[in-house]
Structure 1
C-alpha cells in the first residue's frame, strides 16, 4: 500500500501533462527556457524580457531587428501568442526563441511574444484576458521604448500558432467591440494552424471517437467550465448564438494551414466561415502541402518555413 501522502495523478493528457493530487504539474514535452540574446550571433536580432503586469503575472519577450542607423523608419509590430494547447510551452522557450530570431531577421518587424498564464493552474478564459491586457499595453503610452521609438502603430498585427491562433481569433473579436488606447487599431491577424473544434466532426475528422480526439480532450481540460462546452464560441466560432464573424476587429486576415496537419480542415473551415460572414476585410488562405502541424516553429530555417515567413513579411509590409 502507498503512504497516504503519496502523490496521485488526478488528471492527465498522456505524454503532454500530468496533474497531481498535491497540485503540482508535470509537462514532459515543454522545451527548455532560454535567456534573451543581445544580439543573436546568427541573425543579429536583439531580444529582451519585459514585465507587462505583476498581478496577473504577464510578461513578454521583445525582438528587435537590426535597424538602419538613421533610425527614422518605423517597422510593423507583431503581438504574438504562442501555441501549446493553452497548457504548455512559453514565450521564453528555446523553440520560440529560435523561431523568432529567424522570423524577425526575415520580416523586419518588432515582435512582442506574450507570456500568458497557462491552464490548468489558470483555466481559460485567463489566457484571453492576459493577451488582451498585453495588446492594450502595447498600444499604450506605457509600452516599452523599443516599441515607442521604432514601432509603426499604424501597422499593429496579432499572430499565433495552434492554440495561439485560437487566441488571435478571440482577441480580434474583442478588438471589434472594444477600443485600444491612443486610437490604435489592429491592422491584421495571422492565424497559423489555428485550433478550433465543435461537437460535430468536419472534413477528414473521424465521426467515431470524436469526443476522444485531442482537440476535444484539450478543451475540456483547459476550460472545464466553458458555457456550451466544446460549442463555446471561443472554440467553435460558428456555434449557435456565437457573435458574427463580421465583427472581427482588423482589416486583413491570413489563415495558414499545412496539408498533413490534423487541424488543416479546421483552418479551412474557419477561413470559409469568415468569408461567408460578410466581414469587410482582405482574407487570404495559405496552404503548404506535405507539412505537419506548426512545421515552421519546429524547423524555422527549413526551406518551407522560410517560404511561409517571407509570405508573412509581405502580409505585414504591403
Structure 2
C-alpha cells in the first residue's frame, strides 16, 4: 500500500531565533558562528575539553599566558535563553580573549545541552556536573584530569559566573552548592550574575507588564513540565516551594545590571531578595545605567565593557 509523505509543519517557535518542526528538526537561523580554540593565543591560550560523554558535556578552557602563581577558577555559563548560543561561539571566544588577561584567572566556559532538544532541568544538571568535575581536579589522582586546572588553579578560589540565562543558572547552582557537597570538600567562594534572567507571574518595579507573555512563553518553551510554570523556583527564586535564599552556597556574590536592559528590574529585585534573606555572605550590586543587555559580552573592548571586566577582575582577586 502506497504511503504519502506528510509535509513537516511548525509546532513551536520563537520568531527569528528558533523553529521546531513536527519531524523533530530544529532550526536556529540566528545561531552565531563557532570558532576553534587557540592554544597559541598571545594572551589567552584556549583549548576544548570533554567533561562528560554521557551526557555530552564539554567546555572551552582559557589560561592566562605564562601564569606564575595559582589562579582563581571561574566556571562560566553562557546566555541565550537556555535554547541558543554556545561556549564555542565567536562572540564568547572574543570576549574571553579580552577578559582573561585583565582578570588573570582560569575560565572554564561550559557547553551545556540546550532546550528544546534537552528541556530544563538538563542544563542545570550539566552545569552542576561541570562544577563537580572542576572540583574533582583538586584530588591527588583525578579520574578525568585537566593539567591547566591541576597545575595553575587555586581550588580555594572557585567561582561561578554567567550572563542572562547563564546568570539564572548561577543562582540555581549556588543554591545547590548550599545543600550538596562538592568533591574533596571544595567550597564555592563566589558567584557572578550578569544581567540574570528571572521572572514571575507578577511584575516588579518599573517592569513593562507586556514582558510577562514573552517570558512565560519562553519558560514554557524550555521547561514545559516546570511545576508552577513561570513561578517555578528556578526562574522565580521566591516562588511556591522555593528554598530559603539564605542557603546560597557561596561567600560572595555580585549582581550586575544595565539601565537599558529589559531584565534590569529583575536583577535589582533579585539583589534585594538576597539582601533581605538573611544570607551571611558579601553582596554587591553593579549597574551601568546607559548600557543594554550583556553589552560587555558583545563589546568587551568598549569603555563600559572594560569597566565591568576590570570590576569583575577585582571581585575575583579581592
Same fold (TM over 0.5): yes
- In 2, Cα distance between equivalents of 1:79 and 1:188: 11
Consecutive unaligned residues of structure 2, counting only runs of 5 or more, are 137-141
Q: Does 2:72 align with 1:76?
A: yes
Q: Is the 8 A contact 2:71 2:104 kept in 1?
A: yes
- Residue deviations 1:231-257 (CA, integer Å, cap 9, x gap): 000000011321000000000000000
Shift in Å, 1:39:
2.4
Q: How does 1:51-66 map to 2 (within 5 A)?
A: 51-66=50-65
Select the residue among 127, 145, 150 that pairs with 1:131.
127
SS in 2 for 1:61: strand
| Counterpart position of 1:155 | 157
Deviation at 1:78, TM superposition (A): 0.2
After superposition, where does 1:16-165 map in structure 2 within 5 Å? 16-41=17-42, 44-68=43-67, 71=68, 73-140=69-136, 141=142, 142-165=144-167
Q: Write the mapping of 1:214-253 to structure 2, written as runs, cut at 5 A.
A: 215-253=215-253
Count the aligned residue pairs. Answer: 309
1:144 is displaced (CA, Å) by: 0.9
Where do 1:165-176 residues align within 5 Å?
A: 165-176=167-178
In structure 2, distance between residues paired with 1:211 and 1:285: 24
Deviations 1:165-208 (A, max 9, x none): 0000000000000000011011000000000000011122233x
Q: Structure 1 stretches (4+) deviating beyond 6 angstroms?
A: none
TM-fit CA distance, 1:210? 4.7
Question: How has the CA–CA distance of structure 1 residues 225 and 286 changed in structure 2, closer, same or farther, with 3 Å as cutoff?
Answer: same
Mapped partners of 1:315, 1:174: distance in 2? 22
Q: Which residue of 1 aligns with 2:264?
A: 264
- With 198-207 and 11-20 compared, the bigger mean Cα shift is at 198-207
Match of 2:31, SS state, is coil
How far the C-alpha of 1:15 sits from its partner, in A, is 1.1
Alpha-carbon contact 2:228-2:240 (below 8 Å) kept: no
Q: Secondary structure at the match of 2:238?
A: coil
Unpaired runs of at least 5, structure 1: none
SS at 1:120's partner residue? coil
1:291-302 alignment, distance < 5 Å: 291-302=291-302
Let me know the Cα RMSD of the aligned residues.
Answer: 1.1
Cα distance change, pair 312–210 in 1 and its aligned pair in 2 (3 A)? closer
Matches within 5 A, 1:268-283: 268-283=268-283
Aligned to 1:206: 208
State the TM-score, normalized to the length of structure 2: 0.95
Structure 2 CA distance for aligned equivalents of residues 294 and 252 of structure 1: 21
Shift of 1:300: 1.1
CA apart distance, 1:289:
1.1
Query: 1:182 is paired with a residue of what secondary structure?
Result: helix
Q: Verify: 1:15 aligned to 2:16, yes or no.
A: yes
Residue 193 (structure 1) aligned to one of 195, 201, 205: 195
Partner deviation per Cα, 1:249-306 (whole Å, 9 max, x = no partner): 0000000000000000000000000000000000000000110000001111111001
Counterpart secondary structure, 1:234: coil
**Cα distance in structure 1, aligned partners of 2:150 and 2:134:** 9
